[in-house]
Chains A and B, each alone.
Chain A
Amino acid sequence: MRTQPVNQISEKGLKVWRLYGIMQTAVILLLAIGVGVLTYIFEWPKWIYAIAAGVVILVGYLIIYLFPKVRWLRWRYEVRESEIELQHGLFIVKRTLIPMVRVQHVDTAQGPILRKYDLAEITISTAATNHTIPALITEEADELRRRISVLARVAEDDV
């Protein structure tokens, strides 16, 4: 059994995901309200109210509470001397191994919500693939970017 990567992503990342979940649920809530209004106007059967409410509650539970939690618990990364290992995934657990010599460049990006929580996402690119760690403390992300770029400088010339 391989050991899991040691580092977890910031706990604030969980909060951000919950926030995204709340925003998405709000959209669905609006839709459900729309359906409810239509049902009232056109006197459709009553059980439509129940279904609309049920969908909102279920989706809310899943994308505000359960999915972010599972995803956060699952997300791990580790940056070692000669490779980066990631573990993530909701239903399918993906464990990715990226050797340092393959890394072409590292980007960090920060949207308004991430900035508010002092977080950044970091994207590691090889010649063919991209891998994103979604939420790291900005300082940590910068540090990681610097470290990877130093380590990746030993890259061989072949693509």
Chain B
Amino acid sequence: MSDKRFKLHWITAVIEVLKTLKEMILPLIVLFFANGLKDMGTGKWYIDYASFIIFGVLLIAFLVTGIIKWKRFEYWFEEDELRIEYGLFVKKKRYIPFDRIQSLDHTEGILHRPLKLVKVKVETAGSSSAKQSEAELTAITKEAAKEIESEMAAAKMRKKAVPVEDGMPILEVPVVEDAKVRSVFTMSAKDLFILATTSGGIGVILSGAAIFLSQFSEMIPYEWMYEEISSFVKYGLLIVAIAVFMGFVVVWGLSVAMMFFSYYGFSVVLDEQDIVITRGLLEKKRMTVPLNRVQSVRVIENPLRQMFGYAAVVIHSAGGGGAEGAKINLFPLVKKADIDGPLSEIFPDLNLDEPRQKLPARGRRFYYRMDFFWMIPVVGALGYFFFPYGLLSLLIIPLVIVFGLWQHRSASYALSGHQLTIRYRGFSLQTTYLMKKRIQSMEMRQNYFHKRQRVATLFASVKSGMGIFNAQVYHMEETEAERILSWYEPSVPIKKNASTLVGELEDKGAEA
């Protein structure tokens, strides 16, 4: 094994500087404006130009630390571990055993692409913080990234070759180079367009704009603007409305463009034991999810997209990362009719039948009953304070009831072998496929009214990143909830259907 030590590409220093600058940009701007726009002429140049001097010194300091950070960073392979040494003042060493590595995520930013570089994030199960990955190689050549992968594969092979304790001879499997790599899913331009236009990105952009504006509120010349606007308003409400509308259109267009860029070229590839997801136009991202880390598969049908016959598929992974590492968009948008093919190619064991067991009529009222607690006061208040028109709020009641009935009708579940399928509706219809061995714990909940109606709510918790994802069937038949609990209970042998059980007993009787 070579103990050769590797360095990152020099662009790392630039990226480090830019990263620090990005974090510092707001304080710097504030500093700049606070000092720079004051009346000149105190006579002392170092006071007049204080902000520029500070700015310059900081910039140089960032540059120097960036270069030192880059110079100090080293990684190498030793004893089946990825070893990293880095640190500005304190030299830190980190050793990551190859078989603990969950995934190597590749990102190609704008700075990486012209130089054919890639950023590699190393994820392990025990990543301590949600935001930070275990190790990050800010910029290395693609060949170097390949080398890490082949080094990792070699290490795993060596590990497998060692005979295990119970003496079972392990057959040495020849490495099949790239033979098993299959493309499972890609998104067409049309799909991409629909995804971008129907996404909820607007909210994100609006709030982003709000935050941006609030940061600059002190610098905006309000008086000037006020005059401008008041003369603007004189042109009439129509123009104002059109301006606001145009503003929304622009914001929406921006969000569409952002979605388009980040999901451009989306493809899912199956590489032996890993799912590899690639996406992005300006910043190319590649994410590797080991198949055996996938905890649950969820099909989400947003009513809006459902109209076009589309759905989305999300998987929950037990990987270490934060939100991004835990809930992964496997198929961001896919024709409902075309889900089964690629999904069963990735998860051959999954039973993708529609869950058929419906909920009892006895549980129906629970879907909207709790809502009366907020509805009645709201309707009462509106009706009282805005007397004639406020009474229109009475319409909320049938709406909420119909919504509840819709949820009740949509919910269903199915047990098949080692798999539990749960379907429920928030606003979108969600179908979750859970394997028994992936469920961490299960809970059945009943309040007094539930008990009287012999219904219960069932919660199944699965791991999702560092947290939990709960799949639930609300207000189902009590006996059915108990049956699913018994199905989950390890010490109870799987019960057969009552009818087959009777049949078997009769068979036994006949034999005797």
Which residue numbers of A lie inside 8 Å of B, CB to CB? Answer: 1-2, 80-83, 89, 91-102, 126-129, 131, 156, 158-159
Contact = CB atoms under 8 A, between A and B. Distances in A.
B482 A91 contact: no
A97 B464 CA distance: 19
Contacts of B345: none
Interface string B428-464: 0000000001001111111110010000000001111
Given A83-B489, A128-B461, A159-B463, A93 B446 contact: yes
A115 B490 CA distance: 35
A128 B459 CA distance: 13
B446 A97 contact: no
B440 A102 contact: yes
B491 A82 contact: yes
B467 interface: yes
Contacts of A156: 437
Nearest to A95: B444
A129 B491 contact: no
Nearest to B460: A97
Contacts of A131: 441
A158 B442 contact: no
25 contacts: A80-B491, A82-B490, A82-B491, A83-B490, A89-B445, A91-B447, A91-B448, A92-B446, A93-B446, A95-B443, A95-B485, A96-B442, A97-B485, A98-B440, A99-B488, A101-B490, A102-B440, A102-B441, A128-B441, A128-B462, A128-B463, A131-B441, A156-B437, A158-B292, A159-B293
B491 A92 contact: no
A97 B488 contact: yes
Contacts of B441: 96-99, 102, 126, 128-129, 131
Contacts of B125: 159
Contacts of B447: 91-93
B334 interface: no
Contacts, number: 75
B318 interface: yes
A89, A102, A156 interface centre (most CB from chain B within 10 Å):
A102
Given A91-B447, A93-B446, 20 more contacts: A81-B491, A83-B491, A89-B445, A92-B445, A93-B445, A95-B485, A96-B442, A96-B444, A97-B441, A98-B440, A99-B488, A101-B490, A102-B441, A126-B441, A128-B461, A128-B463, A129-B441, A158-B437, A159-B125, A159-B463
B188 interface: no
Nearest to B467: A128
B486 interface: yes
Nearest to B451: A93
A93 to B, nearest CB: 5
Contacts of A100: 490
Given A2-B485, A129-B461, A94 B443 contact: yes
Contacts of B468: 128-129
B440 A128 contact: yes
A46 to B, nearest CB: 29
A92 B442 CA distance: 15
Contacts of B482: 1-2
B247 to A, nearest CB: 43
The 3 closest A-B CB pairs, nearest first, are A82-B490, A128-B463, A126-B440
Contacts of A2: 482, 485-486
Contact of B463 (A81, A98, A127): A127
A81 B125 CA distance: 28
Interface string B274-306: 000000000000000000110100000000000
B162 to A, nearest CB: 16
Interface in B475-512: 482, 485-486, 488-491
A108 B476 CA distance: 35
A97 B462 CA distance: 13
A129 to B, nearest CB: 5
Nearest to B461: A129
B463 A94 contact: no
Contacts of B292: 158
A60 B52 CA distance: 66
B490 A94 contact: no
A80 B490 CA distance: 10
Contacts of A93: 445-447, 451
A82, A96, A97, A101 interface centre (most CB from chain B within 10 Å):
A97
Contacts of A91: 447-448
Contacts of A159: 125, 293, 295, 318, 463
B473 to A, nearest CB: 14
Interface in B365-386: none
A83 B318 CA distance: 22
A129 B488 CA distance: 16
A97 B441 CA distance: 6
Contacts of A96: 441-444
B293, B437, B441, B468 interface centre (most CB from chain A within 10 Å):
B441
Contacts of B463: 127-128, 159
B225 to A, nearest CB: 48
Nearest to B466: A128
A22 to B, nearest CB: 27
A67 to B, nearest CB: 15
